[in-house]
Each structure stands twice: as C-alpha cells, then as structure tokens.
Structure 1
Amino acid sequence: MDNGVSSYLRFLNGDNDSFVELVKEYGDGLILFLNSIIRDIHIAEEAANDTLMKLYIKKPQFKSEYSFKTWLYTIGRNVALNYLKKLKRHKYTPLEDFSYFSDNIDLESEYIQDEENLLIHQCIKALNKDYAQVLFLIYFENLSHTEVAKVMNKSQRQITQLLYCAKEALKVEMGRRGNNGQI
C-alpha cells in the first residue's frame, strides 16, 4: 500500500474508499499506540477516531519528510495529549472500573495473539508512559529512531537514552512477573 501515502493521496483526490483502506491498515495500531499514552483503551479508541476524523474532515497535506505512519502517529499523539489535558480538568473513572459496561471483545487481546507478546504488552503497559511509547513505536510499529523522535517530539539522542532505559525497565518488569507467575 506504499506505506499509506498512495491511499491518502487518492483520498485527497476524492476516492473515499481509500480512506477505508487507511482505517483498516492503521486503525488498530493507532489505538494501541494512543493507549500507551492515555492508558485507557476506550478513550484511546475515541482519540484514534478523532485523529482519523481530523484527516477525513480537514484533509491536511501529507508531509513526505517522514513515513505516513509517523505523520499519522504524530497527529494522534497530539490528539491524545489534548485528551489527557481534558481528563486532568475533570474527575474521570475508567470504564474498566464498571465491569458491567465492559465490552465482550478486547481489542488488545485480538491484536496480540500469542501469549508471549501478550505478556510483553502487559509488562510494557506497567512501565512509565515514555518507556511504553518508545518500545511500542520501535518494536511493534517498526519506526526508526528518527521517526520515533518526530512522533514523541524529542531528539534522537533522547530517544536512544529513553530506549535503553525502557529496555532495562522492561527486563526488570518481565523478571518480576515471571517470578510471580503473573500474566
């Protein structure tokens, strides 16, 4: 799909079906990335929808300096940070606290099929937000250090240091969970 660029350009030229391709290709990954920032899958879904609606309605021009995914995730990160600002202003109780509201379908479980990846994702979720973001973007979304720096609004040196610290923290968390038998 030419990394999403061709679909987005077709969408800008009036082909609405190509936008559906973008949603199918990038929607789940965007939700999981935004969840690493917001830490609530339901709000992350809303933020991802808002990000995609921004593209659909405002039709911003794609800047080809980075990949389409990097550009999309940068927009999504900004939307997620706005959500966090709103949540700080209002008292918020996650929907997971009300088990009778929770969906029967768990997006994370569908997206992460095998147990080892599920354990890794759960350990990553336990880390601080910057660690979770850098690990997710590099290892699950396969973005380069340069692209991650752009998405996270940091320098490449900061990303290198952050990645090192994140991997160390992940080792500790996985060891802790492995020893306790928690998944």
Structure 2
Amino acid sequence: MDNGASSYLRFLNGDNDRFVDIVKEYNDGLILFINSIIKDIQIAEEAADDTLLKLYVKKPLYKSEYSFKTWLYAIGRNTALNYLKKIKRQKYSHLEDFSYFSDSIDLESEYIRGERNILIHQCIKALKDDYAQVLFLVYFEDFSNTEAAKVMSKSQRQITQLLYRAKNALKEEMERRGKDGQI
C-alpha cells in the first residue's frame, strides 16, 4: 500500500492530520495534470481543490486495485471534464486573456524549472490534449502505462500507441521551434 493510500485510510478512520499529508503530497501534481485538460491554471487549481474536497467530504471508498495516486488522478480527471462542460455552458472568456490581472505565483514556472524543461513544457502544451495528458502522466508523474490507462479511461494498448504518437509529435514540435528560432 502506498503512502497516499495509508494516509487516506488513516484519515477515513478519524485522523484528520493525514488529509493534510495527502494535500501536501499530491496537490501540485494534480493541479498540473488537470491543467493539461482544462488549459487554464486558475481553473485547474479550483478543480484540484474540488477534487480534494470530494475526498474530504464524501470520503469515497478507495480500492487498492490501483495505486492511490492513480485513483486520485482519475477523480481529478472526471472533475476536470465536469468543469469543461460547465465552462462551455457558461461561455466564459478564457482566463489567459486576462492573465495580466493575476498577482499570484505561476505554479507551472515554479514546478518546472530550467529553460529546457520550460521549453519541453511549452511544446507539450502545443500538442493535442490526449498527447499532452499521456506525456504528463508518464514522464512528469511517473505513472505506468497501466495507471495512465486507468486515469485516461483507455486500454493499455491505446496508451502505448498514444505515447508513441505523442513522443513523435513532441519531437516534431521541438524541431519546429528550433527551426523558428524559439529555442
């Protein structure tokens, strides 16, 4: 049983301090994963908060078929998809258009350091959503293909093919940026 699972089970048994451990351990990565779906860091932060709030309030049963992190990210993905539906219904303006109003810390820049990593992150953001999600899960969050398949609601074969295509698309995007002088 991984650390998140044991903390969650202890939280379910009344040890509220263990929930703080879960938030500290998974919040930043969850925000960045949800951002790969929503494409807006402020809304991704809100969706991550809602994901963790669901755990705190509803206390869903965790089954150890998958790692705790995989289970949590699957809940986060569903929450993100619900946010996208809500955004489409309400027809919000994309918040990146108003980013100059933000005085908050740019979590992405803090989390992904170094010019090379920032370039890779920018190239990943330019890819198709499924490509960005699978690359983020496998290479930034160290998910196995099986875990990524669970989070993304795909088969393991689909994830293998998606990962292959995503790596090729990332390589092409990086080469294109290099030729355009963006590196």
The number of aligned residues is: 183
Distance (Å, rounded) in 1 between the aligned partners of 2:94 and 2:15: 37
Equivalent residues of 2:38, 2:84 under 8 A apart:
yes
| Residues 100-111 of structure 1 mapped to structure 2, 5 A cutoff | 100-111=100-111
Distance (Å, rounded) in 2 between the aligned partners of 1:79 and 1:111: 22
Distance (Å, rounded) in 2 between the aligned partners of 1:130 and 1:95: 22
Distance (Å, rounded) in 1 between the aligned partners of 2:125 and 2:99: 20
| Residues 32-47 of structure 1 mapped to structure 2, 5 A cutoff | 32-47=32-47
Change (3 A) 1:104 1:51: closer
Per-residue displacement from partner, 1:4-63 (whole Å, max 9, x unpaired)? Answer: 111111111111111111111100000000000011111110110000000000001111
Equivalent residues of 1:95, 1:101 under 8 A apart:
no
Aligned-residue identity in percent: 79
Q: Match for residue 75 of structure 1?
A: 75
Offset of residue 166 of structure 1: 0.4
1:63 corresponds to 2:63: yes
Equivalent residues of 1:3, 1:67 under 8 A apart:
no
Per-residue displacement from partner, 1:127-163 (whole Å, max 9, x unpaired)? Answer: 0110000000000111111111100000111101101
Equivalent residues of 2:134, 2:159 under 8 A apart:
yes
What RMSD in Å do the two structures reach over aligned CA positions? Answer: 1.3
Q: TM-score, normalised by structure 1?
A: 0.96
Amino acid paired to 1:92:
Y
Q: Match for residue 164 of structure 2?
A: 164
Amino acid paired to 2:64:
S
For structure 1, which runs of at least 5 residues remain unmatched after alignment? none
Q: Which runs of 4+ in 1 moved over 6 A?
A: none
For structure 2, which runs of at least 5 residues remain unmatched after alignment? none
| Residues 65-144 of structure 1 mapped to structure 2, 5 A cutoff | 65-144=65-144
Distance (Å, rounded) in 2 between the aligned partners of 1:17 and 1:119: 38
Offset of residue 104 of structure 1: 4.1
Equivalent residues of 1:70, 1:147 under 8 A apart:
yes
Offset of residue 87 of structure 1: 1.2
Equivalent residues of 1:96, 1:102 under 8 A apart:
no
Q: TM-score, normalised by structure 2?
A: 0.96
Offset of residue 181 of structure 1: 2.7
Amino acid paired to 2:109:
S
Distance (Å, rounded) in 2 between the aligned partners of 1:99 and 1:160: 36
Distance (Å, rounded) in 1 between the aligned partners of 2:13 and 2:83: 31
1:176 corresponds to 2:176: yes
Equivalent residues of 2:2, 2:68 under 8 A apart:
no
Amino acid paired to 1:120:
I
Offset of residue 113 of structure 1: 1.4
